[in-house]
Every structure is written in structure tokens, then in C-alpha cells.
A and B are shown apart, each in its own frame.
Chain A
Amino acid sequence: MVHRRSVSALASLVLAGTLAACGSGTSDTSEDATPDGPVDLRMTVWTADEGHLGLFQEIADAYVADHPDEVSSVTFETIPFEDYTTTLTTQLAGGNTPDLAWVFESNAPEFVSSGALAEIGGTLEATDGYEYEDLLGSALDLWSNDDGLYAYPFSNSPFVMFVNTDRIAEAGQTQPSELHAGGEWTYDSARDISAATVEDLGGAGLVVRDFDYTAWSNLASVWGAWGAQPWSADGTTCEFDSPEMVDALSWFHDAVYTQGAIPGPGTAADFFSGDTTMTITQISRASALDGSFEWDIVPLPTGPAGQPGVIGQAGIGVLANGENPGAAANFLAHFTNPENASQLSQYFPPPRTSLLTTESLAEGNPAFDERQLEIVVEAIDGAATKPSHVNYAQVDTATRSALDALWTETGDAAAVATEVCAAIDPLLQD
């Protein structure tokens, strides 16, 4: 009897499996925005930091207490950074759509244009006391299209240059902060200082952090100073073969292979271990500094076209196919209102003009002094975002493959740039 019962249980499992498996991809039904009772909301995030999650939960609990009829609970679900997109996509494919999700900036155009996210600009604007006009227009660009705003860029972290002042002093070079004060802080001077320190002390010179000769979009902080961009603003034409980009890539190539200022591919140099002279990275990385050497930050060096600055962003969106997009958008409006944005700003530089001050950033960035925070605030204003595209994942892969030819002793920027365009032009127009 036991056998028979377990067999029938298994048979129903098979059936359930087949039904679930053969159900179509569109089985999610969007509930209308005003469900009967209070709902449970779920937001996927990639931070596992206790401080972040504690603050999120605090904000959420206050909201639940104020709106018991609308929301009964908010859960913040941490997915490991490395596996974030895989897991989120599996949840979407499996019909287990979260109500809100953090979105990488490189995925932004794809998420915005695909219809995966719900429009939230209307809800934010209509919320009492939200002060929508306080939001920084340049920060919203990436997350908007003609129909409105699809995600709130809660983190706007500028790229700056971290400098190991010990190494520079030891090699008898001029400190970048002095050069910056004198208006002479250029990529060429950064390269020369780096090359000199390497010659004197060994180790590594200038490291574009996380580039590693694969994540090429991190070079945006370099080519911006040459006035170059990888493709046209509308995303349809490759501009890798523009003279500006070819010059920028040539400069980088020579700094690696001729001057030895930048460690070549296959060398894991890490600024935070103390044997690297300077590194371009986001301010959030300051948490990795452990006081084993003296350091400073300066703005990105300028190049032939000045320095527009670059920020890395992350957004929060409401999933259109979630069960409660209405309630989720209302919660997002609360989560990012002026008061809460001010709280969040201790961890994430907010897109609010009124909060981009040294005082509001000081609390969450104790490693920085007043002067350094000013550099941070200035770096956010007017900065560009890293490259992004509707078809980003494919363009990224194709670009990386084609660019690999440049990272050899004899690599020729002009020839490789032509190859990159040949590889990505069809994808850009897709």
C-alpha cells in the first residue's frame, strides 16, 4: 500500500513537472494595481552588507507600519553579485518574478526597452513631498525613454584616481594633488609618474581597476579624456574607428608596451596590496584600504579633450510582470523620497542635487576628508555613464573578442579598431 501511494505521489509530481515545464513563458498574469488585501513585496539586491540591509529593512518596516492596508511585508533578497543576472533571469523565466530588482547599468537599456520594467516616473512625481525636480537629469538619462522613467538610479559612484603617495614620494616624483592644483594633472603626467615609480620600485604603475584586459568598458574613464566614445549616442554607429578613439587606444597601448607605466595583460596588480602607484576606480572601493600605506584621491587626469568624468550607476526598477507593480512603485517612491534618500546617501551617492554635498556623503565615507569629498561631489556633476546599449551583452562579448588583438606588443590600434567595428556594427543595428 505504501508503494502504491508513493507511486501515485510520484506520478502527480511527473504531471506537475510536465505541466510546469510545458507552460508557456507568458504564464505570469499581472494583477491589477489595486489588490484586495495587503501584499508581500520582494526586492532582489546584490549587496550582502549588514549595514545596507539593516537600513533597507528599517525604511521598509516604517512603510509597512504606515501602510498596513497596502503592504504587509518587504523582503530584501540577496543574490551573489557574480550570479545576479543568471538568478534574476531564472526567476523571471520560472515565473517567480520579484516585485522590485536592482539593475546593472550595462543592462539598463535592455531592461528599459524590453518592457521588463514598469514606468515609475508618474508615480514618483505624483507622490507628496517627493521633490521629483530635485533629481539630477543627467543621472536619469540612462533609465528613461520617450515614455518616461523606468528605474531609479540609487547609486551614482564617480570614478576617481586613487594614489599611493608613499610610492610617489619614495620615487621622488611630484604628488598628483600638486599637479592637479597647478592644472597639470594630465594622462601623460600620470603615465610618466607611474613609469618612473615602476622603474625605481618595481611593482605596478597605473591600473585601470577591473579592466583586466577583458572588461573594456572600464576604459571609458580614459577615452573620455580624448573625447571618444565607443558608438554614437543613438547606439547605431560604431565609433571605435574614430581618430579620437584610435588615439586614446594607441596612448594606452604604448603606456603598456613602450613606457611600462601600465601593467600588461596577465598581471594581477592590486592597488590595495600597496605595490601599485595609482588606480582608477570608484570611491566605494575605499573600504578595501587597510591603512598599510598612505593614499590620496585626485580627479581623473585630463587629456586632449579635457575630462568629462565618468560615473558607475545602479538602478532599482519595478518589474512589470511582478504581482503587484502598483504597490511596488508606491513603495519605491517612499524608499527614495528625500528623507530616505538622505539616509541611503551614506552608502550610495544619490541622484539628488540637494544631497550631493560633502556633509551628506561624509557619514558613509569616513575614509575621506572634506577636500577629498569635494572632489567626489564635483566628479558626479555632469559625468557620463559607462557605455551601454540595448544589445549590450552581445556587443560587449564581440568587442572584447576583437579588442584582444590589441593587447600584444605589436598590436595596432587603427587596425584593431576597424576590426571591432566590423564585428559590432551588425549587432548595433539589430
Chain B
Amino acid sequence: MTSVPTLPARRRTMRWRDRDALYGYLFSAPAVLGSLAFVIAPLIAVVWYSLHEWNVLANTFTFIGGENYTRMLTDAALHDSLWASLWFSLGVLVLNMTLALALAVLLNQHLPGTTLFRVLFFSPVVVSLVAWTIVWGFLLQADNGVNAFLAALGVTGPNWLRGSVTAMIAVVVVQVFKNVGLNMVLFLAALQGVPEDIGEAARLDGAGAWRRFTSITLPMISPTMLLVGILTLVGSLETFALIDVLTDGGPGTSTTVLVFYLYRQAFEFNQFGYASAIAVLLFVIVLALTLLQWQTRKKWVFHES
């Protein structure tokens, strides 16, 4: 787009550039204005609500400054939910990425039946969440489903949804099985974009399969891993319906993640002001984590050029 030789041509280019900027604004206008109207403005409104005590039932809306935020410091239930969110998101991120990559690698081996398996692994993505959680509710009972299967192997399974640790494991696994297909497809697409000749060259140089995977394939697909990682993390921090149906935040407060706590404050306790403050906190956390992942990308994301 540079070096244009003759003078008249350059002048034309200058005019073209000016007009080009106008096109830039016009092209991006729907997205930018839409974002202002339907993302930024509501966010500002939520910040505004968070400075108020707002009880919808009593119809009170009183300015209380930063009180909702200082309340957060001493709200033990909020702190519990932050820990729950941490474990849940970490679990989903690690398990989802690992499983998605493993499935993608398996499906990239040109094995018989690959097309069929690709559909099977993807199918939960389109199954309704309601049906999905109902079935898993059945499967995770104390002495049936998964545990009946374990018993056949001679293992006594735990009462999944009734122990704090096992309930967390259960919601992580059910969430991952539901959505891993999408990430799997993204990884599969990335793997198919890795040129085969590089791996072949390394193989001839005597590099083993694992070595070829870690030092060639992984770096080549690291940009996909970054994006998939961000999307999965944001998605995990927004998980609500699954927990609502499977554990209702319990036992105790062990699976009450932040969004669930926010929902509870707003729609069960009718404390819209405090819930808005939690919403602001949630937004800040998501933003910070995303920026962190983005900032550290230079360390591990490989660029072809």
C-alpha cells in the first residue's frame, strides 16, 4: 500500500486516504454505535445503580455512595463465591482446553469413523441446556448412573452433588462435556492448518511424536489457544443455568459462583443496588483476566511472521 511513484498518482492517493478514513468510520459505525447503546450505556447505568440502595419491591432508590462497595469487603458469602468462581473457572479452563485439544488431536489422525465421532463430540453443543442438566442430574445420583458404572468396576463412587469438592468437580465436568465440542472444532481447524511438511522434516531429523507435538504443533496453534482460552474463561465466569439446576449453589456455598451470587442478590433478595456493585466487580475481574491473558501472549504465542 506504499510507494506510489508519480506525483499526480500520489495526490490521488492522498485524497483517497482522506475518503478512506471516512469509510473507516462509516463501516465501523454500526458496531461502534451499537456497542455504545447496548453495552457501554447499560454498563454506565449499572455503575450508577451500584451507588444506590435499590429495592424493587419496596420501590426505594436511595443514593448511598460507595456503601455497596465497602459492604463487599465484609461480605463473607461474597468471598466464598469468589473462591468458588476461582475453582470453577480454573477447572473449566484447564479441563476444557486439555480435553478439546486431546479430542482434536485424536480426530486429526485420519482414523476410521472420524466424521461420525466429530458429530458425536459436537452434538452436546446443540442440545438444550435444560435437557442436558436433567440427564446429568439423573446420572450423578448417589447409587445410580455414574456410580452404578463405577460399582461394576468395583469402585464405590462418591455422592457427587452432596460433597463440596465432588459437587464442584461434577459441575465442572458437566459444563465441559457440554461445550468442549466447540473448542474441539476450533482446535481441529487449527491443527489442519499446520503444514504437514514441517512435522515430516522434524520426524526425519529423529524427533519423537511427543517432541514434534510440543515443539511444532503447539506453537503453531498457540494463537488459537489464546482465543479459545479467553472465550472459555469468560464463558466459565458467566455460567449460571447449569449450577442453578444441578446444585443450586450448594452444598453449603461450595458451588455458588459469582454470577449465581449476583443473580441471588438481585432476583431473590431484591437488592438491585448491591447486585449491581457485584456486576461491576464481575466485569472488572473478567476485564483484568482477559488483559492478563492478552498481555502475556507474547511469551507463549507464536507468530508465523
A and B touch in the complex (CB under 8 A): yes
Q: By the criterion CB–CB under 8 Å, are A7 and B29 in contact? A: yes
Give Cα distance in the complex from A148 to B55, angstroms: 23
Q: By the criterion CB–CB under 8 Å, are A267 and B61 in contact? A: no
Number of interface residues of B (CB under 8 A): 47
Residues of B near A10 (CB, < 8 A) are 29-30, 33-34, 37
Q: By the criterion CB–CB under 8 Å, are A13 and B37 in contact? A: yes
Nearest A-chain residue to B268, judged by Cβ: A393
Given contacts A110-B57, A116-B59, contact A267 B141 (CB under 8 A): yes
- The reply to whether the CB of B56 lies closer than 8 angstroms to some CB of chain A is yes
- The reply to whether the CB of B242 lies closer than 8 angstroms to some CB of chain A is no
Residues of A near B138 (CB, < 8 A) are 268
Which of B58, B248, B252, B264 has a CB less than 8 Å from the CB of A114?
B58
B198-212 contact mask (Cβ, 8 Å, vs A): 1 or 0: 000000000000000
Give Cα distance in the complex from A11 to B138, angstroms: 50
Given contacts A89-B266, A110-B57, A264-B142, contact A22 B252 (CB under 8 A): no
Query: Smallest distance from the beta carbon of A147 to chain B beta carbons, Å?
Result: 15
Looking at chain A, what size class is its interface with the partner chain? Answer: 35 or more
Give Cα distance in the complex from A320 to B57, angstroms: 10
- Near A by CB (< 8 A), chain B positions 129-152 give 137-138, 140-144
- The reply to whether the CB of B188 lies closer than 8 angstroms to some CB of chain A is no
Residues of A near B38 (CB, < 8 A) are 17
- The reply to whether the CB of B160 lies closer than 8 angstroms to some CB of chain A is yes
Query: Smallest distance from the beta carbon of B63 to chain A beta carbons, Å?
Result: 10
Give Cα distance in the complex from A181 to B33, angstroms: 74
- Near B by CB (< 8 A), chain A positions 94-147 give 110-111, 114-116
Q: By the criterion CB–CB under 8 Å, are A266 and B141 in contact? A: yes
Given contacts A22-B45, A22-B48, A115-B58, contact A267 B142 (CB under 8 A): yes
Query: Smallest distance from the beta carbon of A72 to chain B beta carbons, Å?
Result: 27
Q: By the criterion CB–CB under 8 Å, are B269 and A21 in contact? A: no
Nearest B-chain residue to A94, judged by Cβ: B56
- The reply to whether the CB of B54 lies closer than 8 angstroms to some CB of chain A is yes
Given contacts A86-B267, A404-B250, contact A114 B57 (CB under 8 A): yes
Q: By the criterion CB–CB under 8 Å, are B57 and A111 in contact? A: yes
Residues of A near B141 (CB, < 8 A) are 266-268
Query: Smallest distance from the beta carbon of B247 to chain A beta carbons, Å?
Result: 9
Q: By the criterion CB–CB under 8 Å, are A26 and B59 in contact? A: yes
- The reply to whether the CB of B36 lies closer than 8 angstroms to some CB of chain A is yes
- The reply to whether the CB of A92 lies closer than 8 angstroms to some CB of chain B is yes
Given contacts A14-B33, A266-B142, contact A213 B55 (CB under 8 A): no
Stretch at the interface among A156-164, A221-229, A288-296, A394-402: A394-402
- The reply to whether the CB of A85 lies closer than 8 angstroms to some CB of chain B is yes
Query: Smallest distance from the beta carbon of B295 to chain A beta carbons, Å?
Result: 31
- Near A by CB (< 8 A), chain B positions 240-299 give 248-253, 263-264, 266-270, 272
Residues of B near A400 (CB, < 8 A) are 250
Give Cα distance in the complex from A110 to B59, angstroms: 12
Query: Smallest distance from the beta carbon of B75 to chain A beta carbons, Å?
Result: 12
Nearest B-chain residue to A107, judged by Cβ: B57
- Most B Cβ at <10 Å: residue of A90, A394, A407: A394
Which of B33, B56, B59, B266 has a CB less than 8 Å from the CB of A11?
B33
Query: Smallest distance from the beta carbon of B222 to chain A beta carbons, Å?
Result: 38
A61-94 contact mask (Cβ, 8 Å, vs B): 1 or 0: 0000000000000000000000001100110110
Query: Smallest distance from the beta carbon of A265 to chain B beta carbons, Å?
Result: 5
Give Cα distance in the complex from A26 to B140, angstroms: 46
Give Cα distance in the complex from A10 to B30, angstroms: 8
Which of A18, A22, A213 has a CB less than 8 Å from the CB of B162?
A213
Residues of A near B36 (CB, < 8 A) are 14
Residues of A near B54 (CB, < 8 A) are 25, 93
Known A6-B29, A7-B29; 15 more pairs at CB < 8 Å: A6-B30, A10-B30, A13-B33, A14-B37, A17-B37, A17-B38, A25-B272, A92-B59, A116-B59, A265-B142, A266-B141, A268-B141, A321-B59, A393-B270, A405-B252
- Give me 13 A-to-B residue pairs in the complex whose CB atoms sit less than 8 angstroms apart, sorted by A's number: A14-B36, A14-B37, A17-B38, A21-B44, A89-B56, A92-B56, A93-B54, A114-B58, A267-B141, A397-B268, A401-B253, A404-B250, A405-B252
Q: List the 5 closest A-B pairs by CB distance, nearest first.
A: A21-B45, A25-B61, A266-B142, A114-B57, A114-B58
